[in-house]
Structure 1
Amino acid sequence: MSTPLRTRLRRRLASFLAVAASAGLLLVGLPATAQAAPGDYAKITTGKRCDQMHLKKTLPRTPNNSGAPTGLHHWVKSGPDEEFYYNNDFKGFENVPVPSQADLKAAGSTRADIDGWDAKYAASRNPEDMKNAIYARYHRHRIDSTNPKPFGSWMTRYLINNQANGQKGGAFEVKAVQDFNLVGPDWLCEVTIEIYDKNGNKIASRRYDAYNQRTGELGEFKSNGHRKPAQYRADKIILRHKDARYDFTRARLTMFTSEKTTNVTLKDYGSLNRALRAERGTGNNPIRIAERRATAKGLWPQTKYTKTYPDFSPSPNTRTQGPLNSLARESGRNAAEAKQIQAEHNKVNTRSALGRGPGGVDFSTLELQYVGNPVKGKGLDYSMKADFVADPDSNPGWGGEAKLTLASDALFTWLALTPDKFWVNLNPDEPERIMDKEFAKTDAGRVLLEADLRLKHDAFVVMDPGTRRGKQFWDSLARRDGAPCLHGMRSWIEPEPAKVREQDGGIYILDAPLKVSSVPQETNTPGPGKGCDLTKAEIQHNQRMYDTLIEPEVIKKINGDPVYADLRRVYSSRVAAEWIRQQDAKKATDFRPIINSDDVRRWPLRGENKDWKKETVYKKYVKVFKEGEFEWEMEYGGLTYTYIVGGVDFSKAPKRNISQVEFRTQHRSLPHTTKDSVRAQTSARDAEVSYLGGNGAARTDDGKPTPTPTPTPKPTPTPDPTDSGKPTPAPTPTGGETPPAAEDPDGDLADTGSDTPIGLIAAIAATLAAAGGVLMWWMRRRRTTDDQDG
């Protein structure tokens, strides 16, 4: 035997003995010393070295600080978000026309045909070459599939999304391998583990993105922070498996994520982590989640086949483009359709690269967040927000196109009509004065009138004497003959001053809470019950009780309840419209022909509301007013009916412009993050926030060349030996103390319309954020009013 060969054998034997002695851990591929559990057994398919697969390098050793950065169950990297790029060429060809049979024949269908067209496009960047490459792929799909998809759905879900899936997932895997030092001879990538029962039936199958042969650490790369149900089910089986050859009962699983981990993921894996700790009798965490937040930038070319949209576009010549527009239109028109789309998305998105999919966004919460400077010839850059849904796989979001269209139509409604028309009024004494006739032709007007009717209903609900708060309210009122007696009132919704920041050539509206106001008022139209002859002092007392006990609960509902989402949505567009008006007054924009034109024909009532009539809502209101909506039998011995009169005047939108220090302290990463989101769906640190964007100039690359989708290596932090299982606390913001509010709550955003109230003043408020035209999705912490708690 030669000396080199003997040396290699000695090294292998020494390595094996060292591994077998380390921590008693039984590794994949090595014989287990424990007795096998009867029945079940595992099969392992190993992959390639991670450094060779993702970095195209062969590194001589594995660093000591590779893998999970700490022993915590959930670790979040502090500091600013990072970024990585990926290419999505097919996205620039969404609008390629449906091919004819002649087109398919000319393009061909073989792998050589496809490769040939790809090579031509790479050399020429001629969109016609890429069109033929797409046709050749679709021709192949039709030949291979027993049930070929229509060209449009195949293009979106099986070509564009599939490319983004591979490109984004691959780019994130490169970044994860670099960030967490998953390199050297110990780390393998794409290792498949299968578990079979004693009859040979497969009961679990899981492909892990990374596996450390020395420590037994399993790794999963999640660019979206969302667990897949099938993977979670397999993990529960695999991490408890032990047979004669393989023992995973001491292995650990680390999930490496680039976005905020979803609540359902934390809940499921937190529960599994606690169960495994108890079963193994150890204080260590078998499951670890390592978040190293990074913005994914998906870039695509601007071609004649790039799809554009009418949203927020003042004319057909200034259309928008961006992730928002297409995602909203892919979300499904109803819950059933959304589930079908989400299921198809999950089938294609095998690497979890495309985020939560169309079903991951609660489009019912969509609101405008930011508008930039409306430069003539370039339309408008804009931003929106919406909540994530908790579990898109079982309960996906839907209706994105309708909500996006409502926000866009509302913006143009506020621009086209003069502000004196922005009111609605439900008063039983004024049937001729429900709302302006032009305003009544729009969805914005419809939303305001329906919200005013809803306000009255919700005030009744809070007054219910069957609840603790309601009983307290009725007990506090002035009495006649021993029974409580309530005066007539008018109530309305109006905005608190909105916190905004004018910066980066646009306006961010950061907070715009709503409030409800009410004053005593009597009407000539009789209500359902007998009135009370109260003194002025008694009326004032009753009003104070209403303001103290009832009004705050109604305010909570208006600011957070989904039933008022459309109202919040159209008001956010109102704020944006006021900004556009001001900029156009300084210099002509594409919006000038629209402003104060009183022509809303381009933004009519749509969809199921196209035949909506203001008189229908008014009749519902009068019926409730005259007959009563609730009838309560109270212990005072009589029946009491309540009625409230109200209206809406949208002519004012107050705001307070916050200082640069306050903006930088509380929202320091917002401008950078939102600009990133023009290219792709992203998320924001420490909140359930996702960003998607649209650009008024229909550009997604800022005019810059497409970068190579390889992230810049970042140093991996020194491992923290702490193993307490507690999450890392969020860093404390810096930047100085927040200055006090300005004395003038209106700031420098002028009120519009007359100072004379028209009917009852009401409004709703919104929040804006983002530069460069983006859609931001923000997870609000919705609160459900607990009527029993008071």
Structure 2
Amino acid sequence: MNHPIVPPSAAGTSRSLVPTASTRPSSAPTRRRHLWARAAVALATVGLLSVSGLPQLQGTADAATKAMPCEQMFKLKGKPTDPGKLPWAKGDATRPEADWDSYGFPNQRQAMDGLTLPDDPAERDKILGKLTLPYKKYAEGTPERVYATYKDYLSRNGNTDTKYGGFGNWLNEAYIEVYGRNPRGEAFHGKVVKDLGLLGPDWICEETLDVTDPDTNKPYKRRFDAVNHKTKEVLEIKSGGNHDSSQAPKDRAFLKDPKYKDYKLRYAFGQPQSEDTARYTAGLKKLGGQGRVTTYEHVSTPEAQFKPGKYTAQDTARSIGRGSDVVRQSPATPADMARQMQRVRAGDPTGLRVRGPGGVDFSTLELRYVGKPVKGQGLNYSFSANKVDESAGLGYGGRQKAELISDSFFTWLALTPEKFWVNLNPDEPDRVMDKTFGTTDAGRVLLQADLEMKHDYAKDMDPRTGVGKQLFDKLAAENIPCTHGVRNWIVPKPAEVREQDGGLYILDAPLKVNSVPQEVNTPSPNGKCNLTEAQHKRVTQLMDALIVPDIEKKVNGDAKYADLRAVYNARVAAEWIRQQDTKSPTDYHAIINSNKATDWPLRGKNASWTPKQTYDDYVKSFTQGDYSYPCEKAGRPGTCVMGGVDFSKSPKQNVTQAKFTAEHQHLPRTTDISVRAMTDDAENKALLALGGNTAAHTGTGGTPTPTPTPSHTAGPSTPPSSTPAPAPSGQGAHKPAPADPHASGGLANTGTRIATLAGVALALVGLGAGLVWLRRRRGGLN
């Protein structure tokens, strides 16, 4: 299974952008995302897996045998914060976006997340059978230890895995994630103490209070993360956004116990509260009365610290990016997602987990940043995606969507731009699209989007409702008997990018729908429409005012066109990489203009798709109509239109340094963190950022010699060496695109001139992000 933008290795050409630990599966609003406020990015970082933010704190809260001053527990010094200046002093609060950061916590088991095991029980047992129990006889950090631990789990469950459904799920959800919960919680505990200045003799960490529920007289022992008897405050700290259900009766007893009637309960979360937890804290607030219970979200991204090695997850080009671990763990179907969430919740009664794939709407995944492609060092990249509550069940399909973006990125690099065209014209069955382009998912997405646009246009032309009724009412009032045929196609609107710090931010790439009158020879069910020149002009005006804007809104915001938008963003990124390669050969040099797309074929459920299938669907729509309703042509059904996807023109709108800094001041931090771990977007709380780096990891964790032979289905047949693989020589079919003398512009305020590409109608060659501006287009395609 592949994911984000990965350069070629020494053993061959890179084939994926997407990090993964498994094999490639057998099946695989009008202004979209307002500028960068709706974009999530990842800024280039030099050190692979380096961790920014708070250094690992000394001490361990969870291991404490007795309560002690917080400053002593975490070996901190400083002046305590005035109680009146603590963030919860005036009620519920969220950490200011300018302060959002990350923190590290140790979890060396993360280095084993690339280990695989056959799903077939017989093949699985051949490997596990060579191991004996107890598993603790094998050293931590070896595949033997992992396999033996799984064998122990199976032995306690009748040699079946009905809970996790396979080794991969068990590895990520139990062996790695659960193991890291306490270290992560301890690190966040210390971070909160340090950041908020919970110092001095009055703040005591890990103090246990004796509480009694007066309604039942049931006693409890409630240990709080921090207690201040002077200010009469108790604090519970959670690194994620979830509460501990086992603490619920104790919290309620604390609030009802007369001994603590003057005490206030504070909850501090490292991520926004889940819907379930928000309901829980709302209940505590109601029970406690005015101002006794407050919640505070100290937004911080946890980053696992570990030494990568031979068995660390990677894709086929040895990419490693912890932010995309979430993509890798995303299940394929809604049912699988539901099962995963059931397992996660059942295994997390103490509320220690942080947001995983269940908190991401992967249907909105888009590539939003690519870093500088330094030969032999890979590049940083980042996706954006909508944040959702885990209860929404939308965390599935991440690998498939990331693979589509990755494959499209490489398709745009590999094929020469004159191949990027689609053509749905009932008169031209032999000119649907370029043959090679038609074997790729990028080509499929363009052609399907064109067909979808025609269906939407037909729906909008229904005279019985909506904008169609408005149109035909006006036509009837002006005695215009019918509407002429039209050709519609999608082009970029002025789009915004910013080249900065060696990388490219894709700030906004909105699309536009163009429409012009056009007739074809293939008979329409509506027959001919004979209009005067003045009537033709008036019909066009009304369609442009009523129908086209609604279609354009759908193209830029409707979920049906999400793949088109994602593929287009990948095109923007790929064209920029082309430009960098002309300056100095990159790891992508041998791929560019090679006209070989066999490594990025149609996949999964679309593996058997052909352009003819979409063309036949279109002809049926054109000749029979999408809907049956009375129209101006003797009541015959349907309104069918013509169109396409044409990115051959790319108007540009450069973003200045001053504007970028003023409007996107939080991006450098957000982008830096997102390379290493999925993080909240500081500029848009509805978005998440997740990414990685495409460079090979060094594999410095030693050379394990396991008794079993692990199945390295996710990576090369030989393990990575202790040094990154050498970059290719650059010898290949590299054919720079010819310059367009009519081209205008460059990247924002960089002075960079862009070599433009030969224009062709319906061709995906322009970048509506200020990268290319073509002024010529060959006519004749519809």
Is this a same-fold pair by TM over 0.5?
yes
**CA positional deviation for 1:351:** 5.6
* CA contact 1:370–1:509 (8 Å) conserved in 2: yes
* Corresponding residue for residue 724 of structure 1: none
Q: 1:291 corresponds to which letter in structure 2?
A: E
Deviations 1:115-167 (A, max 9, x none): xx35xxxxxxxxxx644544554455455556665543332221211233222
**CA positional deviation for 1:495:** 1.0
C-alpha separation in 1, matches of 2:217 and 2:159: 32
Quick one: which of 67, 88, 96 aligns to 1:77?
96
Q: Does 1:456 align with 2:454?
A: yes
Q: What are the within-5 Å matches in structure 2 for residues 90-101 of structure 1?
A: 90-96=109-115, 98=117
* Corresponding residue for residue 534 of structure 1: 531
Summarize the Cα distance change of 1:519–1:763 in structure 2 as closer, same or farther, 3 Å threshold.
Answer: farther
Summarize the Cα distance change of 1:135–1:595 in structure 2 as closer, same or farther, 3 Å threshold.
Answer: same
Summarize the Cα distance change of 1:387–1:328 in structure 2 as closer, same or farther, 3 Å threshold.
Answer: same
C-alpha separation in 1, matches of 2:612 and 2:128: 54
Summarize the Cα distance change of 1:477–1:190 in structure 2 as closer, same or farther, 3 Å threshold.
Answer: farther
* Corresponding residue for residue 302 of structure 2: 296
Which has the larger displacement, 49-58 or 406-415? 49-58
* Corresponding residue for residue 255 of structure 1: 267
Quick one: which of 739, 758, 761 aligns to 2:761?
758
* CA contact 1:423–1:650 (8 Å) conserved in 2: no
* Corresponding residue for residue 696 of structure 2: 698
**CA positional deviation for 1:298:** 2.4
* Corresponding residue for residue 334 of structure 1: 333
* Corresponding residue for residue 308 of structure 1: 314
* CA contact 2:460–2:467 (8 Å) conserved in 1: yes
**CA positional deviation for 1:491:** 0.7
* Corresponding residue for residue 405 of structure 2: 407
Which has the larger displacement, 528-537 or 204-213? 204-213
Deviations 1:570-593 (A, max 9, x none): 111111111111111122222222
* CA contact 2:490–2:645 (8 Å) conserved in 1: yes
C-alpha separation in 2, matches of 1:561 and 1:104: 52
Which has the larger displacement, 148-157 or 268-277? 268-277
* Corresponding residue for residue 121 of structure 1: none
**CA positional deviation for 1:247:** 7.1
Q: Does 1:607 align with 2:632?
A: no
Q: What are the within-5 Å matches in structure 2 for residues 28-43 of structure 1?
A: none
C-alpha separation in 2, matches of 1:513 and 1:403: 20
* Corresponding residue for residue 551 of structure 1: 548
Q: 2:561 corresponds to which letter in structure 1?
A: Y
**CA positional deviation for 1:355:** 2.7
**CA positional deviation for 1:216:** 5.6
**CA positional deviation for 1:289:** 2.8
Q: 2:426 corresponds to which letter in structure 1?
A: P
Q: Which runs of 5+ in 2 are unaligned?
A: 1-64, 118-123, 702-742, 772-782
Quick one: which of 153, 158, 162 aligns to 2:169?
153
**CA positional deviation for 1:73:** 2.5
Deviations 1:283-330 (A, max 9, x none): xx34423233334332221212222113xxxxxxx4211124432221
C-alpha separation in 2, matches of 1:187 and 1:672: 32
* CA contact 2:233–2:266 (8 Å) conserved in 1: yes
**Aligned residues, how many?**
651
Q: 1:375 corresponds to which letter in structure 2?
A: V
Summarize the Cα distance change of 1:303–1:524 in structure 2 as closer, same or farther, 3 Å threshold.
Answer: same
C-alpha separation in 2, matches of 1:548 and 1:267: 45
Question: Which has the greater radius of gyration?
Answer: 1
**CA positional deviation for 1:257:** 2.9
Deviations 1:534-578 (A, max 9, x none): 122222222122112222222221111111111111111111111
* CA contact 1:299–1:700 (8 Å) conserved in 2: no
Deviations 1:761-782 (A, max 9, x none): 89896899xxxxxxxxxxxxxx
Q: Does 1:219 align with 2:235?
A: yes
Q: What are the within-5 Å matches in structure 2 for residues 481-630 of structure 1?
A: 482=479, 484-630=481-627
* CA contact 2:676–2:691 (8 Å) conserved in 1: yes
C-alpha separation in 2, matches of 1:442 and 1:52: 59
* CA contact 1:321–1:699 (8 Å) conserved in 2: yes
* SS of aligned partner of 1:693: strand
Which has the larger displacement, 167-176 or 62-71? 62-71
**CA positional deviation for 1:213:** 5.0
C-alpha separation in 1, matches of 2:654 and 2:81: 53
* CA contact 1:327–1:358 (8 Å) conserved in 2: yes
**CA positional deviation for 1:332:** 0.6
* Corresponding residue for residue 206 of structure 2: 189
C-alpha separation in 2, matches of 1:209 and 1:434: 65
Q: 2:305 corresponds to which letter in structure 1?
A: L
**CA positional deviation for 1:596:** 1.4
**CA positional deviation for 1:621:** 0.9
Which has the larger displacement, 594-603 or 207-216? 207-216
* SS of aligned partner of 2:626: coil
* Corresponding residue for residue 387 of structure 1: 386
* CA contact 2:497–2:769 (8 Å) conserved in 1: no
Q: 1:683 corresponds to which letter in structure 2?
A: D
C-alpha separation in 1, matches of 2:253 and 2:692: 47
Q: 2:758 corresponds to which letter in structure 1?
A: S
Summarize the Cα distance change of 1:656–1:58 in structure 2 as closer, same or farther, 3 Å threshold.
Answer: closer
C-alpha separation in 1, matches of 2:328 and 2:766: 29
Deviations 1:91-137 (A, max 9, x none): 112234659788787775265x46xx35xxxxxxxxxx644544554
Deviations 1:394-428 (A, max 9, x none): 52410111111111110111111111111111111
Which has the larger displacement, 80-89 or 415-424? 80-89
**CA positional deviation for 1:241:** 8.0
Q: Which runs of 5+ in 1 are unaligned?
A: 1-45, 119-128, 311-317, 704-741, 769-790
C-alpha separation in 1, matches of 2:310 and 2:555: 44
* CA contact 1:322–1:694 (8 Å) conserved in 2: yes
Quick one: which of 159, 173, 191 aligns to 1:175?
191
